[in-house]
């Protein structure tokens, strides 16, 4: 008998299952708002101009593909640090940050989780309610107990800030607190700068361990403004924290798996020791990251000309998302559904639309519009061609 004979079927990812159903749907004009991908006005995943330039130059060079160092391409890591912490960051000047290229933002989360399990073996991890589903999965897989802090308020479709502060205030010292830097997935609800200041002060006072997940830098207000949480933590005097960042969205390089883990420690010497543990952790997971995606991002970020080109395109993407939010709200009001005005106050690719499971089912069955049962919609999958259809359907199921 096979040693696998008793393995039971593991439930699949609900979002991927939705995409399969969407692909199989033969109705014309179908729209998939269930995805976690930025599409352009033509409904395509963009290949950014700056990325294409680097890719063509790399193809001409036809370099051999040796292994990268365990913690990745140095030019990538240096450019990442500047983007995440700011080029003039005192932490960088003091040598208190070590950055490792990882297999996407997901890889950074997992390496960060495995690292913290070694450093804080008894700690719990607190994630927002709700959070990106994989947060719980990754921290559980690393051996952590995961608890939730209040975050989303369904009555206002905004932040339950008092609940959040109250819950964070009850956590034991040393608890790892996972915070979304911006463009919260799945709700689209973010903190203001003043709210971040309060959270950072609380984290410091309660001696919690901040773990920032920044998967959408540049998708709401801009590269620096979207990193407010990181910059405030850096300036707070908190001695140690980690940041996982992803370029999947900001470079439209989903399948290249480009991300990074940055660890901040109290001193240059401490960061060297922690980084040796990060490298050991990477070595035991996947040995070293992949060459191509890292070379693309490093090539763009380390060229003044290509970086400007990339920032322009990122700005276009961000502005297109804002325009789709505004358009949706405006058109829904015309359809007699002004209650959706909060969509414009939410940020990033996603919106918790407030649509119920039953309404989402109706959208799919009657209108060939696919969304997730929680009501999360991907605003970045809207465009001027599908917006009217989507709005009419949402208004119809909301009556
Ligand atoms: N964190 C959040 C909040 C995300 O939404 C995502 C991507 N969906 C990730 C991390 C992981 O990014 P990557 O695809 O680069 O692994």
In this structure, what are the phi and psi dihedrals at residue 125, rounded to the nearest 5 degrees? -115, 130
3-state secondary structure of 351: strand
Task: Indicate the helix (H) or strand (E) that contains 32.
Answer: strand 31-32
Q: Which CATH architecture has domain 67-302?
A: 3-Layer(aba) Sandwich (3.40)
Instruction: From the CA of 104, give the closest atom in ligand 1.
Output: 15
Mutate to test the pocket of ligand 1, among 127, 132, 178, 256 (most ligand atoms within 8 A of CB): 132
| pLDDT computed for residue 388 by the predictor | 97
Beta bridge partners of 263: 98, 242
Protein residue with its CA nearest to atom 12 in ligand 1? 105
Active site residues: 132, 213, 249
Q: Judging by beta carbons within 10 Å of its beta carbon (0-12, 13-18, 19+), is residue 216 exposed, middle or buried?
A: buried
> Contact 329/343 with Cβ under 8 angstroms?
yes
Using 50, 70 and 90 to split pLDDT, how confident is the model at 14? confident
| pLDDT computed for residue 150 by the predictor | 98
Structure tokens at 143: 């051996």
Instruction: From the CA of 254, give the closest atom in ligand 1.
Output: 14
What does the alpha-carbon distance between residue 238 and residue 32 come to, in Å, rounded to a whole number?
Answer: 42
Spell out the domain ranges in the chain.
Answer: 14-47+307-398, 67-302
Q: What is the pLDDT of residues 296-350, one digit of tens each?
A: 999 999 999 999 999 999 999 999 999 999 999 999 999 999 999 999 999 999 9
Mutate to test the pocket of ligand 1, among 139, 185, 188, 246 (most ligand atoms within 8 A of CB): 246
Protein residue with its CA nearest to atom 6 in ligand 1? 215
What does the alpha-carbon distance between residue 303 and residue 25 come to, in Å, rounded to a whole number?
Answer: 44
Protein residue with its CA nearest to atom 8 in ligand 1? 36
| pLDDT computed for residue 11 by the predictor | 84
CA of 108 to the centre of ligand 1 (A): 10
| pLDDT computed for residue 329 by the predictor | 97
Using 50, 70 and 90 to split pLDDT, how confident is the model at 16? confident
Rounded to 10 degrees, what is the CA torsion of 348, 306, 258, 232?
A: -50
3-state secondary structure of 121: coil
Taking CA atoms, 387 is separated from 56, 327, 346, 381, in Å, by 35, 8, 18, 9
Task: Indicate the helix (H) or strand (E) that contains 129.
Answer: strand 125-129
Instruction: From the CA of 108, give the closest atom in ligand 1.
Output: 16
Using 50, 70 and 90 to split pLDDT, how confident is the model at 227? very high
In this structure, what are the phi and psi dihedrals at residue 158, rounded to the nearest 5 degrees? -130, -155
CA of 187 to the centre of ligand 1 (A): 14
Strands 350-352 and 376-378, sheet pairing: antiparallel
Instruction: From the CA of 132, give the closest atom in ligand 1.
Output: 3
Q: What is the pLDDT of residues 109-132, one digit of tens each?
A: 999 999 999 999 999 999 999 999
> Contact 70/275 with Cβ under 8 angstroms?
no
Q: What is the mean pLDDT of residues 48-73?
A: 97
In the chain, what percentage of residues exceed pLDDT 70? 100
Whether residue 130 is preceded by a cis peptide bond, meaning omega within 30 degrees of 0, is: yes
What does the alpha-carbon distance between residue 288 and residue 286 come to, in Å, rounded to a whole number?
Answer: 6
> Contact 33/373 with Cβ under 8 angstroms?
no
Question: Domain 14-47+307-398 has what CATH class?
Answer: alpha beta
Taking CA atoms, 133 is separated from 41, 156, 221, 317, in Å, by 28, 22, 25, 25
**pLDDT above 90 (res 15):** no
CA of 155 to the centre of ligand 1 (A): 27
Taking the alpha carbons at both ends of the chain, their separation in whole angstroms is: 57
Structure tokens at 41: 């006005």
pTM strictly above 0.90: yes
Ligand 1 pocket list (CB less than 6 A):
36, 104-106, 132, 180, 185, 213, 215, 246, 248, 259
- Residue 94 CA neighbour count, 13 Å, CB half: 17
How many other CB atoms are found less than 10 A from the CB of residue 319?
A: 10
Mutate to test the pocket of ligand 1, among 137, 185, 254, 351 (most ligand atoms within 8 A of CB): 185
Protein residue with its CA nearest to atom 1 in ligand 1? 215
Residue 72: partners with Cβ closer than 8 Å, 6 or more residues away: 100, 101, 102, 260, 288, 289, 294
CA of 42 to the centre of ligand 1 (A): 24
Q: What is the ipTM of this complex?
A: 0.99
Mutate to test the pocket of ligand 1, among 34, 38, 104, 378 (most ligand atoms within 8 A of CB): 104
Instruction: From the CA of 109, give the closest atom in ligand 1.
Output: 10
CA of 348 to the centre of ligand 1 (A): 13
Give Cα 32 distance to the centre of its chain.
20
Q: Which residue has the tokens 């009657």?
A: 366
How many other CB atoms are found less than 10 A from the CB of residue 154?
A: 11
Instruction: From the CA of 258, give the closest atom in ligand 1.
Output: 15
Dump the DSSP string for 88-109: T-HHHHTT-EEEEEEEHHHHHH
Protein residue with its CA nearest to atom 7 in ligand 1? 215
Q: What is the mean pLDDT of residues 365-381?
A: 96
List the one residue out of 347, 349, 343 whose CA is nearest residue 378.
Answer: 349
CA of 252 to the centre of ligand 1 (A): 12
CA of 144 to the centre of ligand 1 (A): 19
Instruction: From the CA of 131, give the closest atom in ligand 1.
Output: 3
**pLDDT above 90 (res 17):** no
Dump the DSSP string for 163-215: HHHHHHHHSPTT-EEEEE-SS-TTT-----HHHHHHHHHHHHHTT-EEEEEES
CA of 246 to the centre of ligand 1 (A): 7
**pLDDT above 80 (res 370):** yes
């Amino acid at each position: 008998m096979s040693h696998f004979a008793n393995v039971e079927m593991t439930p699949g990812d609900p979002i991927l299952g939705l995409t399969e159903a969407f692909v199989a749907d033969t109705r014309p004009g179908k729209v998939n708002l269930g995805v976690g991908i930025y599409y352009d006005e033509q409904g395509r995943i963009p290949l950014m101009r700056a990325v294409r330039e680097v890719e063509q130059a790399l193809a001409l060079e036809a370099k051999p593909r040796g292994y990268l160092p365990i913690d990745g391409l140095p030019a990538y890591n240096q450019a990442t640090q500047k983007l995440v912490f700011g080029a003039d960051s005192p932490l960088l000047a003091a040598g208190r940050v070590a950055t490792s290229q990882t297999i996407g933002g997901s890889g950074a989360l997992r390496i960060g989780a495995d690292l913290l399990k070694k450093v804080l073996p008894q700690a719990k991890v607190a994630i927002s309610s709700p959070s990106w589903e994989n947060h719980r999965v990754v921290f559980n897989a690393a051996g952590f107990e995961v608890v939730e802090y209040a975050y989303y308020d369904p009555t206002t479709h905004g932040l339950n800030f008092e609940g959040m502060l109250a819950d964070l205030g009850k956590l034991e010292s040393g608890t790892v607190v996972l915070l979304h830097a911006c463009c919260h997935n799945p709700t689209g609800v973010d903190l203001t700068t003043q709210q971040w200041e309060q959270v950072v002060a609380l984290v410091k006072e309660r001696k919690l361990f901040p773990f920032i997940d920044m998967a959408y830098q540049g998708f709401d207000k801009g590269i620096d403004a979207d990193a407010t949480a990181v910059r405030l933590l850096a300036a707070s005097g908190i001695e140690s924290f980690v940041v996982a960042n992803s370029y999947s969205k900001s470079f439209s390089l989903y399948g290249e798996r480009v991300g990074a883990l940055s660890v901040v420690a109290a001193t240059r010497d401490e960061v060297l020791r922690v980084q040796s543990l990060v490298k050991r952790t990477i070595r035991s997971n996947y040995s070293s990251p992949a060459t191509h995606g890292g070379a693309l991002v490093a090539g763009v970020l380390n060229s003044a000309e290509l970086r400007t080109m990339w920032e322009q395109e990122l700005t276009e993407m961000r502005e297109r998302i804002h325009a789709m939010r505004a358009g949706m709200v405006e058109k829904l009001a015309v359809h007699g559904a002004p209650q959706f005005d909060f969509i414009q106050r939410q940020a990033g690719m996603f919106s918790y639309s407030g649509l119920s499971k039953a309404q989402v089912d109706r959208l799919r069955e009657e209108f060939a519009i696919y969304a997730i049962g929680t009501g999360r919609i991907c605003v970045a999958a809207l465009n001027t061609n599908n917006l009217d259809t989507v709005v009419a359907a949402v208004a119809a199921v909301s009556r």
